[in-house]
Amino acid sequence: MPRLSILDRYILREFITSALAAIVVLLVIFTGSTFATIANKVATGQLPGSVMFTVLGLNLVNTLQALLPMGMFLGMLLALGRMYRDSEMHVLSASGFGPKGLLKPAAIFGIGAALVAGGVALWLGPWAARTSGAEIEQANRSVIAAGLEPGQFTNLSGRGGILFANTVSPDGTRLGNLFVESERTGKDGITSISVITANHGDLFHEGQENNRFIALHDGHRYDIRLGQDNWRLMQFQRNDVALSPPAEDDSDSDPEGLRTTASLLGDHDLAAKAELQWRLAIPFGPLVLAMLALPMARQGTRNSPVGRILIGVLAVLIIMNVMTLARSFIASGKAPVQLGVWWVLLPVFIGAAWAFARQYATRKPRVAGSVKA
């Protein structure tokens, strides 16, 4: 490996510093939006509150495969843009530092970012998604994680009811001295109230893990119709009450994203092949964006960097959307698997290399035409 010069190390340091700052800003933005989504799920009973911050952290890890390429691209635009505005690039060019001098630090920075993004896409991201699902599944097995605490009234989200347990076992599966109240309005417009008391209860699951029930033992049930004189009293040995099951989560509708990369290699299903092609294309993104940043960063000393940053963000979003579209074409069989997803990046790389070469191409001097008498 050739030794890095002082200028190479300086430019690399500028790239890394600016990229880290951009990634931190993007993480703050994504953390705010992700936290709002998770908090809403906790409030509506779709997610146990005890695992809220764990799921938040794991979701942010999974988003790094998109944040890292965008962060490194914005970092290069900011670093090179500052060097152009401060006339550093003009001084370097006058000192013999040609355009090829930018290719070496840009390539090193792009390869480093590609390795990190590839590790996230091929291993860390799927692991975070699986771990998040496992944490939620494990938490749903406990009534404590479901929001039920001893000695407190707990609303049953989506059922319009209240549950009270005087005691809860340490593992959150056994409850003592229970009180459950719920109400519903029938088609005739009459509201019915149901009150259940029980000596003890047990948490269990049926069917899917999200289908949680409490088996009430040795109790009484009172059914009262408001405005009516008739009411009903029943004594039971066991009565099952359903806790509000979490609603379907659209973010978990892609089971292929939870699988390991090794398991996708031998799968002939189109959805699995599309997921594999997507993961293999992610590491090429930083290399292409590093090439794209070189011509886009060139600007005058008085130009504002805001316009180029907005154009850069728009370019990254367009590339990601086209890659997502190519992935859906493979999953639906509309595009051959051999084509992959990386082909979306190839025209961008060629176009960026052409624009960069054209910017620094030697211009032929104009020949003055002959003047006729």
Residue 247 lies in a domain: no
The answer to whether residue 344 is domain-embedded is yes
Q: Are residues 18 and 45 in the same domain?
A: yes
CA distances from residue 352 to 30, 116, 156, 258 in whole angstroms, order as listed:
29, 23, 56, 34
Digit-coded pLDDT (tens) for 133-189: 887 777 666 555 455 677 888 776 555 678 888 888 776 678 888 888 888 777 777
For residues 261 and 238, membership in a common domain is answered with no
For the beta sheet containing 174-185, the strands, ordered from the edge strand earlier in sequence to the opposite edge, are: 153-156, 161-168, 174-185, 191-205, 212-225, 231-242
For the chain, the domain total comes to: 2
Give 194 or 157, the one with higher predicted confidence: 194
Predicted TM-score (pTM) above 0.75: no
Q: Is the pLDDT assigned to residue 276 strictly greater than 50? A: yes
> Are 42 and 100 part of one and the same domain?
yes
Tokens of 120: 């996230």
User: Could you tell me the two tokens for 165?
Assistant: 């347990």
Is residue 24 one of the residues assigned to a domain? Answer: yes
How far are the Cα atoms of 83, 140, 142, 170 from residue 149, in angstroms, in the given order?
59, 14, 11, 11
In a domain, 369, yes or no: no
Does 258 lie in the same domain as 169?
no
Cα–Cα distance, 266 to 282 (Å, whole number): 20
Q: Is residue 365 part of a domain?
A: no
pLDDT in tens, 57-102: 888 888 888 889 999 999 999 999 888 888 888 788 777 776 678 8
Average pLDDT in the chain: 82
Express each pLDDT in 307-331 by its tens digit.
888 888 899 999 999 999 999 999 8
Shared domain check, 93 and 35: yes
Residues 56, 168, single domain; the answer is: no
Number of Cβ within 10 Å of residue 316's Cβ equals: 18
Domain end call among 198, 218, 242:
242
Question: pLDDT at position 288, please?
Answer: 94
Among candidate residues 194, 217, 242, the one where a domain is terminated: 242
Consecutive H or E run containing 193: strand 191-205
**Helices 100-119, 52-85: inter-axial angle, 10-degree rounding:** 180
pLDDT on residue 146: 53
Helix (H, G, I), strand (E, B) or coil at 45: coil
- In terms of average pLDDT, the best of 84-98, 237-251, 294-308, 348-362 is 348-362
Domain with 40 in it: 6-139+254-359
Asked whether residue 214 falls in the same domain as residue 100, the answer is no
Q: Are residues 36 and 134 in the same domain?
A: yes
Q: 224 and 351 in one domain?
A: no
Using alpha carbons only, how large is the chain's radius of gyration in Å?
A: 30
- Same-domain pairing of 109 and 16: yes
Does 57 reside within a domain?
yes
Buried b (16+ CB within 10 A) or exposed e, 126-151: bbbbebbbebbeebbbbbbbbbbebe
